[in-house]
Structure 1
């Protein structure tokens, strides 16, 4: 769900400060050049401005100007409902930060940056373009703080010469009051394994999971595999599942949200990821909040939160090691501690923990 991570950050710190949210996005289907939507969502003033996406050879240039104009419209609407902000919190570079940079120059309003994007990682190599890099370096340099979700991402950004003296790690937020451990003992006759993703096989390597399941199924069927999510490769993965004759042990649930997602995570005995590159997927953290361990590839910042009590790591694309770790779990040779997993999630990723960390950063940057 676009913007969900940002909303969770905003809600976590809203206990300490007044937060308003501006969201700007292109829309191919608008009748007018701009449309605005204003709401009060869970106590947050939320202003969305959509602009009509231009096409043709000059489309990218026109869309750039429309984006900035949409941000200006949103800010003016915000000032009609609230006062001038003391600080601007930007999520995801680069163009999202242009208006914040302008306000720093014009109005001396400081800004901080949270980054989630994998484009800086060498496995992705998506941070390209001389002009983009030049602008991004300047924006990062003038930021009061840069807040990647993992140390791994922070290092990757700095390897691209995105320098700032105030890098701090602030992970994504989990609603630990909604994602809670299942009540009572799980009664699964077969071990229930889940995978949750956006079904982009290039990144998530879902085909690798299916081939591993195929190898496992040659000798055992004491597990049930549940895939949750939707995306560009979902239908192809369903076809591959059938071709590998896995329909008897695999189920595709599609996109699940809210309590439907929580219930599936609570029922799981194990979560698996076999990604080629990641930062720190929030689905891992949501699983932790429900006491569910993870077996994952060692990519991005995942290893920063994996210990013997909550998960296991294998090398990228190492299907033999991946299979072996799943077998160890199914055989009971490697057990995890659901209570410790849950405690760790609340301590590290809850609204309370992240909200307090953000508030302390806000205070310091505003005072300076």
Structure 2
């Protein structure tokens, strides 16, 4: 019997407990031993739970219990999760987490602590919820040099865009509906301002390229400035707008990494991903394009990925999984100003100055505005040109990258 502790009994934590208790026979066949939930850490009371006798409010009960070999962290945030996870690893216990913020901020350190103590630190559910992506990147695609990873990494923003595109909703109404349906938090900043997607692309980039990428080093722009007009104009030009996390190697070996809204051609495989679904495109030198698709969140999809990591840890109690990256100072990240992109730029009025600053652009006139689909420029140059337009009274209403995926 292998004893497991779960830290947190919210949506995902309760799903993990449910799977571990209702799928005992299947999990026994996979591991060869019973996975027994011995402790559940939560400050709340759950008297009606079938596992009511396993609950504790004291973390010391877990870290000091030598029978507990695998710990599941599904508390969220970094305080106290970081301290609890680090102490469990130092005690030689393997840890599984779905906590993208924890991995994005402290992944390199916690992987090093796990290595020092011959334990495992696994986090399949931290990116894409129930979509397998960490294990395929670290195992199935290990023979590839990864050229680029790009994806729709946040289901909430994708749901909002879907409502804007298909139901003619403006941004605020679509956001409210997402909140009413439980897809978005009361404070939706992490979703709509791109922080959630940023953490996920940082984890994928760290794994694919071997050095830790910190969120503070990544250019991140959310979707709160996207209007219904932009969605309609994009559609008329045979594009859709999606929030994309993207990382690729530059010619000098640095990483061009960002999170931003992008216009995607309707021919792009990511353009058809709708509702709360996520899609992650990995470009490898041997495999070519490989696509991972599914629900990026939800109680049981995410819990399923967590339990898969628990099983992996249970199979490797005396040996480490080969998943690792080193720490870094951020010097491998290219300046966002050097990132090259074509742009959709919408200006009020005739846009005469815009057309002179962005020559050879495709031009569309609509509703008293001028829409330019520009050639490719360095983003720093684009910022300078937009600032010049605004300074000279030619108001820029929207500026959105055009994806080349």
Please tell me the TM-score bracket, short chain as reference.
0.3 to 0.5
Q: Which has a greater percent of strand?
A: 2
TM-score by length of 1: 0.38
Q: Greater CA radius of gyration, 1 or 2?
A: 2
